[in-house]
Amino acid sequence: MGLRRYLANKTVWYLGALVVAVVLNFVLPRLIPGNPVDVLVSKMGQGGLSSEAQQRTYEAFMREFGLDKPIWDQFLLYISGVFNGNFGASFSFYPTPVSSLIAQSVPYTLALQLPAIVLGWIIGNLLGAIAAYKGGGWDKSVFTTALLFNSTPYYCLSIILLYVFAVVLGWFPVGGAYSLGTSPEWSWAFFSDALSYWWLPFASLVLINIGGQAVGMRSMAIYELGSDYVNYSRSLGIGDRKMTGYIFRNAMLPQITGLALSIGTMVGGALITELVFSYPGMGSLLFGAISSSDYPVIQAVTLLITIAVLVANYMVEILYGFIDPRIRASKSGEK
């Protein structure tokens, strides 16, 4: 009963957040004085297009993107696009649909972030747990290193790794996702080639995630070490190993919600990491779209990121509800 209420509560909140996010994603780009096409066409004007040609392009774009319709119709159009996965055509790669641009980038972003988040979480928690358990010099060195990584901005570490390991030492390629002359395909040759480009951006994401999780886990575990049940279990003669089990089960729970809350930050950091390594994922796509005022692409990418983060958070919180017996049993869901 408690669980059902918790699930319902979370579902309502996340649906609310989703609605707000979708609306903001529609409204914010339209706060621009004039409209996106104005900006784009005036840029073309600088490129030396005649004013007549400009006018024609302008009208064509207006029709194409439905900007000549009233705002309410535009919104309905946008919503139906969201549901159909149809985000229109890109400005800069006209008439390539935005969805196919995104389909090209998403695999790279997922290949970087998913393993980095999952492995970073697992390794970081293990390291933090061991640091808290072992104490002494181990704790000190792990904690200091983790703190340093945790407080290093993603892109700073990316830049340093790129410079040291790719430029100076030459162990890895300097940027991109695969060698010139190869093209993405399902073959071992391409996969191993792509892997050599993948290591560095992956490392810079995973190292920082490990640092953050280790710092969090260590302090949670130390907090749990001082709790009453540890003392009581000790007084019953329960061994250290068993007690470690209790402690880490309890310390783990806040770490799960911590994961949910940090996914958003991680995604933001990873965008720039892609830029640094010229890795052709969503970050690079977004960067390109921003510099060329490609509004349909910007809007689609930000919407997708938001939805992905919301869904990930939602799933983590639901999982948490199943794991923590206090939620399963409590009478009311917490907010």
Partner 1 sequence: MTNISSSAVVAEAEGPLVPVGLPTEPKKAKPGWRSLNFGSRMWIALGIIGFVAALAFIGPLFYPFGPDEKVGSLYDYPTWMNTPPTFEHVLGTENFGYDVLAVLMASARTSIIIGLLAGTIAVVIGVAIGVLAGYVGGWVEELLMGFTNIVLAIPSIVILILISISLQSTNVPFLKGAVGLALVIGITSWPWTARAVRAQASSVATREHIDVAKLSGARTPSIMVRDVLPYLASYAVMAWVLQLASAILAESTLSMLGLGPSGANSLGKQLFWALAFQAVATGAWWAFLPPTIVLTMISFGLLYLQSSLDEVFNPRLRRGKKKNLAKAAARRAETARKLAENQPVEVNA
Partner 2 sequence: MTSILMRASNLTAVYAADSGQDVPAVDNVTLEVPEGQIVGLAGESGCGKTTMGNALAMIANPPLYVVAGKMEIDDEEIDLSTLARGSNEAHRPYRGSTVSLLPQGAMNAVSPTLKVKNLVIDVMRAHKRDTTVAEAMDRATDRLKMLEMPTRVLDSYAHQLSGGMKQRMVTVVSTLLNPKLLIADEPTSALDVSSQKALIEMLLAMVEKKIMRGVIFITHDLPVLSMVTDRLAIMYAGKIVENGPTEELVNNARHPYTSALLSSVLDPTEETRTKHVLGIPGSPPNLGNPPSGCRFHPRCQFAMDVCKVEEPKFLNERDHEVACWWANDHAYETVPMEVYKA
Residues 312-331 that bind partner 1 (CB under 8 A): 313
How does DSSP classify residue 291? H
Q: Which residue's CB is nearer to partner 2, number 163 or number 229? A: 229
Tokens of 128: 């933090």
Residues from 87 through 126 that contact partner 1 (CB under 8 A)? none
Applying CB under 8 A, the span of 191-199, 202-210, 249-257, 270-278 interacting with partner 1 comes to 270-278
Return the number of the residue (190 or 292) whose C-beta is nearest partner 1: 292
Q: Does 168 sit near partner 2 (CB under 8 A)? A: no
From partner 2, partner 1, none, which one binds at residue 167 (CB under 5 to 8 Å depending on kind)? Answer: partner 1
Reported as half-sphere exposure (CB side, CA atoms, 13 A), residue 73 has a value of 7
List of residues 6+ apart from 113 with CB closer than 8 A: 205, 266, 267, 270
User: Which is nearest to 269 in space by CA: 108, 149, 154, 161?
Assistant: 154
List binders of partner 1 among 161-220 (CB under 8 A): 162-163, 167-168, 174-175, 218
Pattern 231-270, binding to partner 2, x per CB under 8 A?
xxxxxxxxx--x---x--xx--x-----------------
Closer residue to partner 1, CB minimum distance, 136 or 181: 136
H runs (alpha helix) in the chain: 2-27, 36-46, 51-64, 71-84, 98-134, 136-150, 154-161, 188-225, 228-235, 240-276, 282-291, 295-323, 325-329
When CB distances are held under 5 to 8 angstroms depending on the partner's kind, the choice from partner 1, partner 2, none that residue 135 binds is partner 1
- Residue 172 · residue 196 · CB < 8 Å: yes
Residue 103's binding partner among partner 2, partner 1, none (Cβ under 5 to 8 angstroms by kind) is none
Residue closer to partner 2 (CB basis): 64 or 139:
139
Beta carbon nearer to partner 2, 30 or 328: 328
Single residue of 110, 227, 311, 315 touching partner 2 by CB under 8 A: 227
User: Three-class SS of residue 89?
Assistant: strand
The residue from 32, 79, 122, 195 that contacts partner 1 (CB under 8 A) is: 32
62 and 68 Cβ atoms separated by less than 8 Å: yes
- Tell me how far, at minimum, the Cβ of 1 lies from partner 2, in Å: 13
State yes or no: residue 322 binds partner 2 (CB under 8 A). no
Cβ nearer to partner 1, comparing 121 with 158: 158
In this structure, what token pair is assigned to residue 132? 């808290």
Peptide bond into 95 cis (omega under 30): yes
Rounded distance, CA 293 to CA 36, Å?
7
Q: How far is the CB of 320 from partner 2 (least distance, A)?
A: 12
- Number of Cβ within 10 Å of residue 297's Cβ equals 27
Q: Which range touches partner 2 (CB under 8 A), out of 41-49, 155-163, 188-196, 321-329?
A: 321-329
Task: Establish if 291 lies at the interface with partner 2 (CB under 8 A).
Answer: no
Here's the x/- map for partner 1, 274-303, by CB under 8 A: it reads as -xx---------xx--xx------x---x-
Residue recorded with tokens 């005036």 = 42
The structure tokens 């609306």 sit at: 23
| Tokens, residue 52 | 């007549």
Tokens of 206: 């995973």
* Dist. CA 116–CA 289, nearest whole Å: 25
Q: Which residues contact partner 2 (rule: CB under 8 A)? A: 227-229, 231-239, 242, 246, 249-250, 253, 324-326, 329-330
